[in-house]
């Protein structure tokens, strides 16, 4: 399938934003709580957001200039003026209140009562926590990075995390569990992703130096059935097993295609030993 090449210079800032949001996805959502120098609370979601270090714990989000006219948002003005903000993660239970908070409310409007979300006093900063959020961070602004000056240009706020607030039931065996957090992520347009349940899966990191794709037998790499992900699982093995010593079991498939499908099924259930045994039979079948 061919690739379409698109140059940013051929697009408007709004078109470029739509392309970025559709392709760089899903993105975590920072529900940013700030307060003006006059004491007016503000609450707004931003999906240009992530964590960038743990010593000190550092996060950044970008309440960018508006694409239509280049004006800046209340969140940016408040954070720069006070040097503080709170980032609240957004769970599925908060989806529609968060969406209400994203509206272009006039200056001076407190989005907490508009959205129905509940403010709680923070411990170290003035902006409020969000009672409904399962995970949030009190932050001190460390740096502002301006990524351009025109409409849609980036305004990145980098902050040091001063305190974490985590709902107790989100810890399972000492680690945060995605099903308990039930967070949502932002895609392009009106699309979101729910990061829990069947959408969440585990993949073990390579232990030491894995086998690598280039060391796989050619007959497997040339398969019409095995996918790149199938071959990647085999390539993540710690080494190449003794394929010549692997015995055939009664009832094993005989045909090459049937062996490859059985191998694929073993990988789908993460049974790497059985997958390699079937790979050995596939090599013997020619």
Rounded Cα–Cα distance for residues 191 and 117 (Å): 22
The position carrying tokens 């698109």 is 6
How many C-beta atoms lie closer than 10 Å to residue 216's C-beta?
A: 19
**CA 103-106-112 angle, 5° bins:** 60
34's tokens: 């700030």
How much is the average pLDDT of 108-122?
A: 96
- Mean residue pLDDT of the chain comes to 94
- Condensed to tens digits (0 to 9), the pLDDT of residues 1-39 reads 899 999 999 999 999 999 999 999 999 999 999 999 999
Inter-residue contact 34 to 74 (CB < 8 Å): yes
Q: Topology of domain 8-199, per CATH?
A: Pnp Oxidase; Chain A (2.30.110)
pLDDT (0 to 100) of residue 165: 98
Q: Which residues pair with 154 in a beta bridge?
A: 147
pLDDT (0 to 100) of residue 167: 98
Q: How confident is the model at residue 122 (pLDDT cuts 50, 70, 90)?
A: very high
pLDDT (0 to 100) of residue 203: 84
pLDDT (0 to 100) of residue 7: 96
How many C-beta atoms lie closer than 10 Å to residue 134's C-beta?
A: 22
- Condensed to tens digits (0 to 9), the pLDDT of residues 38-76 reads 999 999 999 999 999 999 999 999 999 998 888 899 999
Q: Which residues pair with 119 in a beta bridge?
A: 130
Q: Tell whether the model's pLDDT for residue 247 goes beyond 80.
A: no
The position carrying tokens 């990145």 is 156
Rounded Cα–Cα distance for residues 128 and 138 (Å): 9
Residue 270, helix vs strand vs coil: coil
The position carrying tokens 């409007």 is 109
Phi, psi values for residue 102, rounded to 5°: -80, -10
- Condensed to tens digits (0 to 9), the pLDDT of residues 81-107 reads 999 999 999 999 999 999 999 998 998
Inter-residue contact 88 to 129 (CB < 8 Å): yes
Q: Tell whether the model's pLDDT for residue 261 goes beyond 80.
A: yes
pLDDT (0 to 100) of residue 50: 98
Q: Which residues pair with 129 in a beta bridge?
A: 120
* Domain ranges (residues) in the chain: 8-199, 213-285
- pLDDT-above-70 percentage for the chain: 100
Rounded Cα–Cα distance for residues 63 and 36 (Å): 15
Rounded Cα–Cα distance for residues 60 and 238 (Å): 37
How much is the average pLDDT of 242-266?
A: 86
The pTM for the full model equals 0.86
173's tokens: 């065996």
Q: Tell whether the model's pLDDT for residue 168 goes beyond 90.
A: yes
Cis omega before residue 219 (within 30°)? no
pLDDT (0 to 100) of residue 193: 96
Inter-residue contact 36 to 74 (CB < 8 Å): yes
How much is the average pLDDT of 121-138?
A: 98
- pLDDT-above-90 percentage for the chain: 83
């Amino acid at each position: 399938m061919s690739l379409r090449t698109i140059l940013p210079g051929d697009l408007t800032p709004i078109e470029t934003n739509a392309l970025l949001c559709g392709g760089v996805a899903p993105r975590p959502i920072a529900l940013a709580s700030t307060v003006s120098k006059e004491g007016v609370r503000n609450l707004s979601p931003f999906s240009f957001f992530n964590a960038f270090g743990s010593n000190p714990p550092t996060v950044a989000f970008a309440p960018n200039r508006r694409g239509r006219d280049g004006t800046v948002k209340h969140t940016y003005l408040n954070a720069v003026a006070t040097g503080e903000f709170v980032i609240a993660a957004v769970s599925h239970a908060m989806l529609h209140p968060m969406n209400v908070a994203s509206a272009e409310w006039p200056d001076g409007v407190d989005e907490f009562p508009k959205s129905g979300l509940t403010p709680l006093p923070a411990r170290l900063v003035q902006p409020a926590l969000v009672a409904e959020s399962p995970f949030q961070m009190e932050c001190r602004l460390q740096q502002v990075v301006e990524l351009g000056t025109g409409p849609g240009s980036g305004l990145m706020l980098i902050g040091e995390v001063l305190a974490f607030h985590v709902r107790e039931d989100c810890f399972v065996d000492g680690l945060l569990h995605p099903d308990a957090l039930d967070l949502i992520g932002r895609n392009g347009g009106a699309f979101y992703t729910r990061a829990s349940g069947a959408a969440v899966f585990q993949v073990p990191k390579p232990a030491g130096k894995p086998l690598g794709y280039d060391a796989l037998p050619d007959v497997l790499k040339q398969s019409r059935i095995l996918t790149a992900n199938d071959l990647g699982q085999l390539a993540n093995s710690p080494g190449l097993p003794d394929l010549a010593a692997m015995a055939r079991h009664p009832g094993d498939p005989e045909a090459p295609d049937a062996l490859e499908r059985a191998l694929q099924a073993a990988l789908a259930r993460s049974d790497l030993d059985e997958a390699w045994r079937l790979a050995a039979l596939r090599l013997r079948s020619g």
